[in-house]
Amino acid sequence: MTTTDVTEVVTQGTTATQAAKARAKVPWRFLGQRAAFYLFTLWAALTINFFVPRMMKGDAVDNYLARNREISPEAADALRALLGLDSDKSMWEQYVDYFGMLLRGDLGVSITHGLQPVSGVIATALPWTVGLIGLATLAAVVIGTVGGAFVGWKRGSRLDVLIPITTFLSTVPYFWIGLMAISVFSVGLGWLPIGKAYGVGQEPGFNLEFILNVIEHGTLPLATIVIASLGGWMLGMRNMMLTVLDEDYITVAQAKGMPNRRVLWRYAARNAVLPQIQSFALSIGFIVGGAIIVEQVFSYPGVGKMLLDATNAKDYALMQGGFLVIVLAVLVANIVADLVYAVLDPRTRQSEA
């Protein structure tokens, strides 16, 4: 190598440094595409959210009047105006108003919660849902993916039995597993409480006694969601591992004497996990739907139970608010999955080139 070559390399860098620079470059095109997709999905969900309650028979005020008879017709009209149900506005005006209110963070008032703002009602329910469903989903994904990688690695061993078992559990509805868990562990054995987030008479606070109580109440619903959703992750990861383990670079890695542990996690699992992340992004809506029912089964005071109660009581503002929060949570989970994918798979970042 001549001196000029060396200086060239030092000033301009080799192919490797170019790749490193490309990695640091922000993939605007990729980000723009994803952002457009999420905005479109959000708009679609919000529009569904706007139209569905307006297609219903009978409005929330009629329902409210049936329960509170002493309200005068004038008060009923005022209530309609307050809830945005006054009929003299055109559908289009209502639609524009609806987006205006959403942008201001105004979700209306909840009839079933003494005309409290919906955002306040949701704020009390949200931490429970995020804690329960967030933790459970994370646990299921991690256990399923790590387990699936291991089962795939130990192919042909007795561990293969795990696949049909977990698949069986994922074909049974969430609520039935929850009900069975209650009948076995709460009623039969009396180990764990039946429902609710914390015991009657417990004062919510940041102390050890309360936290232990919450953990005790959360164990069964958490375990239910994990058991019901584990199968998909495990099967997906194991199937992908079987495909990846046949690749030549795995054989090469082993032939050059790389420790098996490194081959398994850094070479095979890292590549096999990519479709997993994509399917996580796409199935999160489905999982959240099932998890909502688990909240109902365990009378867990989260957004899902709130949504069901609001639907039964025809409390439309709260119903719309609950649906909005669920959609937002699903979209956020999708964005996170996208980011993780971009970190793990350099190809998505290099689509620019």
The residues of the shown chain that bind another protein, judged by CB under 8 A, are: 37, 40-41, 44-45, 48, 52-53, 55-57, 153-157, 160, 164, 167-168, 171-176, 179-180, 182-183, 187-188, 194, 239, 242-243, 245-246, 251, 254-255, 257, 260, 264, 281-282, 284-286, 288-290, 292-293, 296, 307-308, 311-312, 314, 319, 322-323, 326-327, 330-331, 334
Closest listed residue to residue 296, CA positions, set 285, 287, 309? 309
- What distances in angstroms separate CA 127 from CA 51, 108, 192, 233, one per listed residue? 28, 20, 22, 26
Q: Indicate the length of the chain as a whole number.
A: 353
Query: Closest approach of Cβ 254 to another protein, in Å?
Result: 4
Q: How far is the CB of 109 from another protein (least distance, A)?
A: 19
Separation of alpha carbons 273 and 142, rounded Å: 11
CB of 316: closest distance to another protein in angstroms? 9
| Cβ proximity to another protein, 7 vs 243, nearer residue | 243
Q: How far is the CB of 171 from another protein (least distance, A)?
A: 3
Least distance (Å) between residue 73 CB and another protein:
26
CA separation, residue 262 to residues 1, 57, 125, 234, 257 (Å): 36, 61, 43, 20, 10
Q: How far is the CB of 17 from another protein (least distance, A)?
A: 33
Structure tokens at 139: 């646990």
Q: Decide: helix, strand or coil at residue 109.
A: strand
Pick between residue 71 and residue 242 the one whose CB is nearest to another protein.
242
Tell the smallest beta-carbon distance from residue 224 to another protein (Å). 13
Q: Between residues 72 and 171, which has the closer beta carbon with respect to another protein?
A: 171
Q: Treating both helix axes as pointing N-terminal to C-terminal, what angle do 91-103 and 28-54 enclose, rounded to 10 degrees? A: 130
Is-contact 128 302, C-beta < 8 A? yes
CA torsion, ordered 284, 286, 292, 296, to nearest 10 deg:
-150
**166 with 158: CB under 8 angstroms?**
no
Please check whether residue 143 is in contact with residue 226, taking contact to mean a CB–CB distance below 8 angstroms.
yes
Q: Which is nearer to another protein, 42 or 71 (CB)?
A: 42
Residue among 44 and 96 whose Cβ is closer to another protein = 44
* Token pair in block for residue 165: 């078992």
Pair type for strands 116-117 and 109-110: antiparallel
What are the tokens at 130? 């995020």
By beta-carbon proximity to another protein, the closer residue of 77 and 160 is: 160
Cβ nearer to another protein, comparing 139 with 242 = 242
